[in-house]
Chains A and B, each alone.
Chain A
Amino acid sequence: MAPQSTRHTGFSRRAQYTTFFAYVAGVLGTLAGAALLGMSIYHPAAFAGLRSAAGDATAPAGSVAASTRSTSVSLFDTVAGYIAAGRQNAQLRREAEIARVRLVEAQATAEENRRLKALLDLREADQTPVAMARMIASTSASTRRFATISAGSDDGVAVGMPVRSPLGLIGRVLETGRTTARVLLVTDTESVVPVRRARDGVPAFATGRGDGTLQLRLINLGINPLKKGDTFVTSGSGGLYRPGTAIAVVSAVTSDGAIARVLSDPGATDYVAIERVWAPEAHSAAAPTPVAQATGSPAP
């Protein structure tokens, strides 16, 4: 195609000035963008209000999209279910037998646990979720992993509250609007969750890698005891997440820890529960500043 001669203004003063001032405005826009970026890097909470307002404004569209997602996911599951039905049936029957035995054992353990806690005079905090919400959107084109949920400060959601699905931990609330809230997913590279191995309590930190998996870093150095298939749960250190919430399964062992797959895939999650901060005193003592808390810096 021949060159478009939009840039050649000829002798018209008006066209020359228009082109010139468009470039001036372009450079000024660039500088203003750089200034905005600097502000949002040094004061990450500065534009939380704007983002929350935008999230609130687009929440209806997101809710419609979310219901479409759950329908389409269940459609694929239905089709896949027919193909694997027979094999799955036999396998589930075996698992149900094993689970029945385990359930009785677990009841006994729970009973013992309750008795011991009563001896120690430990009181459980309120365990009912603050709100139930739908996951309506996620930042699918950015390397940061944020999601938007359809509950905000009107429903009692506050910054820092853990968000979980029936399958496990999803993340925690980062910013709240009136009807929506932004959630930092556990797979984000800035999210650090203190975890322990469910079987024997080997402590570790789970950091997101930005691609849907977690990096587990062991706290005690030495021989790496992790194996493929180990399940990790939150340990409750730092006071933010309730201990015992399932989070990930080890999928590959590395030299200083492991790569783990997140148990509750946010894409397959429809409804999530927003819970209270588990031990607010411990959490507020550990969190250095409100700004660091809003940006998601790990508690020391």
Chain B
Amino acid sequence: MIGPLRQRPFASPFRKRINRGPSPLLALAMPWLTVMLGSLSPLLPLVASAPVLPPFGFLVLLAWRQLRPGLIPVWAGFPLGFVDDLFSGQPLGSATLLWSLALIAFDAIEARFPWRNVVINWLEAAALIASYLALSLLIANAAGGGAHIMVIVPQIAMSVLVFPLVGRFVAACDRARLLPVRILG
């Protein structure tokens, strides 16, 4: 008896097909777009009375930098941080400065510990996230606030715990980055 027509065994969107190739625009723009999307997280349907959300833009930036070190250049902290500053509520220039510093610190850490694994990556991200949030608090206080350091402790814990999930999201985006969507020829 003839069964129903089976799907091709290796039908995957990543499979090479004749006259299809990855779009260079998508391949290069994906990291920048996802970081900016993370920076738009203050538009989420949540009006919070305390800092509760992780700084998603920063987390996505770190995750891209860990997954594909060559994709985001070391000067990307300036433009991406500037976009983040427009929405984050911090005084303008806060993320511009801190993200630039974080990317330089990232390269310094990478030179010091070239061999990486999950634990080292997570520890490194945790250290950078905690310093970033603490320095953001300092800057916000210098610009007129007066929040206590305890206010950001839950936020730091949550950001550190959420970071591996953001890493998975970035990995999925990285696969989508090279989808063969462009028709060649």
Contact = CB atoms under 8 A, between A and B. Distances in A.
Interface of A: 1-4, 6-7, 22-23, 25-30, 32-41, 44, 46-47, 50-51, 54, 58, 61-62, 65-66, 68-69, 72, 135-147, 185, 187-190, 207, 209-212, 262, 265-267, 269, 295-297
Contacts, number: 211
Contacts of A207: 146
Contacts of B41: 140-141
A210 B103 contact: no
A207 B146 CA distance: 10
Contacts of A6: 69-70
B92 to A, nearest CB: 4
A65 B49 contact: no
Given A37-B96, A138-B46, A147-B47, A210 B148 contact: yes
B96 A32 contact: yes
Contact of A33 (B69, B97, B141): B97
A204 B77 CA distance: 44
B146 A142 contact: no
Interface of B: 40-56, 69-70, 73-75, 77-78, 81-82, 85-101, 103-104, 107, 110-111, 114-117, 136-137, 139-148, 151-152, 155
Nearest to B113: A3
Given A140-B44, A143-B152, A1 B116 contact: yes
Contacts of B144: 44, 190, 295-297
Nearest to B103: A26
Contacts of A25: 73-75, 78
Given A34-B93, A140-B41, A267 B49 contact: yes
Contacts of A267: 46-49
Given A25-B75, A140-B41, A212-B49, A33 B143 contact: no
A144 B152 CA distance: 11
Contact of B145 (A1, A40, A61, A210): A210
Given A61-B40, A140-B51, 13 more contacts: A7-B110, A33-B95, A33-B96, A37-B92, A140-B48, A141-B55, A141-B56, A141-B88, A142-B140, A144-B145, A189-B141, A211-B50, A266-B48
A37 B97 contact: yes
Contact of A34 (B53, B97, B99): B97
Contacts of A141: 41-42, 51, 53-56, 88-89, 155
A38 B142 CA distance: 10
A4 B93 contact: no
Across chains A and B, which 6 residue pairs bring their CB atoms closest together, nearest first?
A139-B89, A36-B93, A37-B93, A29-B78, A33-B97, A212-B49
Nearest to A188: B145
Contacts of A7: 107, 110-111
A189 B148 CA distance: 9
A137 B42 CA distance: 6
Contacts of B115: 1-3
Contacts of B116: 1, 3
A61 B41 CA distance: 11
A288 B138 CA distance: 26
B90 A65 contact: no
Nearest to B55: A141
A87 B133 CA distance: 44
B49 A262 contact: yes
Given A30-B100, A32-B78, A33-B100, A65 B44 contact: yes
B89 A144 contact: yes
Contacts of A185: 49
Contacts of B97: 30, 33-34, 36-37
A44 B143 contact: yes
Contact of A65 (B45, B50, B77): B45
A50 B42 contact: no
A69 to B, nearest CB: 4
Contacts of B93: 33-40
B171 to A, nearest CB: 13
13 contacts: A25-B73, A26-B77, A29-B100, A30-B104, A32-B78, A40-B93, A50-B86, A141-B53, A141-B89, A141-B155, A210-B147, A211-B50, A297-B144
A265 B146 CA distance: 21
A143 B136 contact: yes
Contacts of A4: 69-70
B40 A58 contact: yes
